[in-house]
Amino acid sequence: MKVGIIGSGGREHAICEALKKSSKISKIYCIPGNAGTNFIAENVDLNISDFEKIRNFVIKNKIEIVIVGPEKPLVDGIGDFLKKNSIKVFGPNKIASQLEGSKIFTKKLCEKYKIPTAKFGIFSNTKEALSFLQNCTFPIVIKADGLAAGKGVYISENYKEASKAVDEIFGGKFGNAENLLIEEFLSGEEMSFFIISDGKSYKMFGTAQDHKRVFEGDKGKNTGGMGAYSPSRLETNDLNFKIINRIIEPTLKGLQELNCQYRGFLYAGLMIVNGDPFLIEYNVRMGDPECQTLLPKLKTDFSIVIDKCIQRKLHELDIEWHNDKSICIVLCSQGYPDTYTNHVEIDLKKLNLNKNQFIFHAGTKIVKNKILSNGGRVLNIVTRSNDFKSARQNSLKILEEINWKNGFYRKDIGYKVIQE
pLDDT tens-digit readout, 194-231: 999 999 999 999 999 999 999 999 999 889 999 999 99
Is the distance from CB of 145 to CB of 104 less than 8 angstroms? yes
Is the distance from CB of 133 to CB of 172 less than 8 angstroms? no
**Residue partners of 205: CB distance under 8 A and separation at least 6:** 194, 195, 196, 265, 294, 319
**Alpha carbon 219 to chain centroid, angstroms:** 21
Instruction: Name the fold adopted by 326-418.
Output: Glycinamide Ribonucleotide Synthetase; Chain A, domain 4 (3.90.600)
Grade residue 420 by pLDDT with cuts at 50, 70 and 90.
low
How confident is the model at residue 177, as a pLDDT?
75
pLDDT at 149 over 60: no
How confident is the model at residue 250, as a pLDDT?
98
Instruction: Tell me the angle at which helices 126-133 and 159-170 cross, rounded to the nearest 10 degrees.
Output: 160
Grade residue 62 by pLDDT with cuts at 50, 70 and 90.
very high
The secondary structure of residue 137, as a DSSP letter, is P
Residue ranges covered by each domain of the chain: 2-93, 119-184, 189-316, 326-418
Give per-residue burial for 191-209: e unless 16+ CB within 10 Å, then b: bbbbbbbbbebbbbbbbbb
How far apart CA 82 and CA 62 sit, in angstroms, is 13
Q: Which CATH architecture has domain 2-93?
A: 3-Layer(aba) Sandwich (3.40)
As a whole number of Å, the end-to-end CA separation of the chain is 45
CATH class held by domain 119-184: alpha beta
3-state secondary structure of 335: coil
How confident is the model at residue 135, as a pLDDT?
85
**Alpha carbon 61 to chain centroid, angstroms:** 28
- Helix ranges (H only) for 26-68 are 51-60
Q: How many CA atoms lie within 13 A of 143 on its CB side?
A: 26
Least confident of 74-78, 128-132, 207-211, 298-302: 128-132
Across the range 41-61, mean pLDDT stands at 98
Grade residue 366 by pLDDT with cuts at 50, 70 and 90.
very high
Phi-psi map region of 87: left, alpha, beta (phi>0 left; psi -120 to 50 alpha): beta
Which among 126, 99, 107, 102 is positioned nearest to 183, based on CA atoms? 107
What number of other Cβ atoms are within 10 A of residue 24's Cβ?
12
What number of other Cβ atoms are within 10 A of residue 408's Cβ?
17
- Confidence (pTM): 0.93
CATH 3.30.470.20 fits 189-316, yes or no: yes
Report CA dihedral (275, 245, 327, 321) to the nearest 10 degrees.
130
pLDDT at 344 over 90: yes
